Amino acid sequence: MSKIISNRIPQCITIFAGLFVMLGSIITAKAQNFEGKTISSVTIRFKGTKTVDEAKLRGFMGVRAGQKYSASNLDDDVRSLYESGLVDDVRWLAKPAGARVSLTAE
């Protein structure tokens, strides 16, 4: 009995690894669906106490409604916000808005 189980362990690991890779591909493909779509809105959502003026944060962000979605531009904004010292943590959330994409920085 233990020999049967030990023979199946490598097979199970291979199956789980394959599923993990497939899941990563699905997530990446889903994220790439926004690339090039027009941004309908850019919202800032604060977690915890609001300690920084929203207009000041937007001054460090280049992403604007009406522009085309670009993951590279979002990365640039994250870097700019961190370098400003105004935030400790920031991430972008994107969701479909018809044929466009709605962005939230939090």
**Contact (Cβ atoms closer than 8 angstroms) between residue 105 and residue 77:** yes
The pLDDT assigned to 68 comes to 97
d(CA 81, CA 22): 33
The model's pLDDT over 71-88, given as tens digits with 9 standing for 90+, comes to 999 999 999 999 999 988
pTM > 0.75: no
Alpha helices in 1-106 (DSSP H): 2-32, 54-58, 71-84
Q: How many CB atoms are located within 10 Å of the residue 89 CB?
A: 9
Mean pLDDT rounded to a whole number for the chain: 79
3-state secondary structure of 31: helix
The model's pLDDT over 37-68, given as tens digits with 9 standing for 90+, comes to 999 999 999 887 788 889 999 999 999 999 99
Q: For residues 11 and 106, which has the higher predicted lDDT (pLDDT)?
A: 106
Q: Which residue is it, tokens 């362990």? A: 9
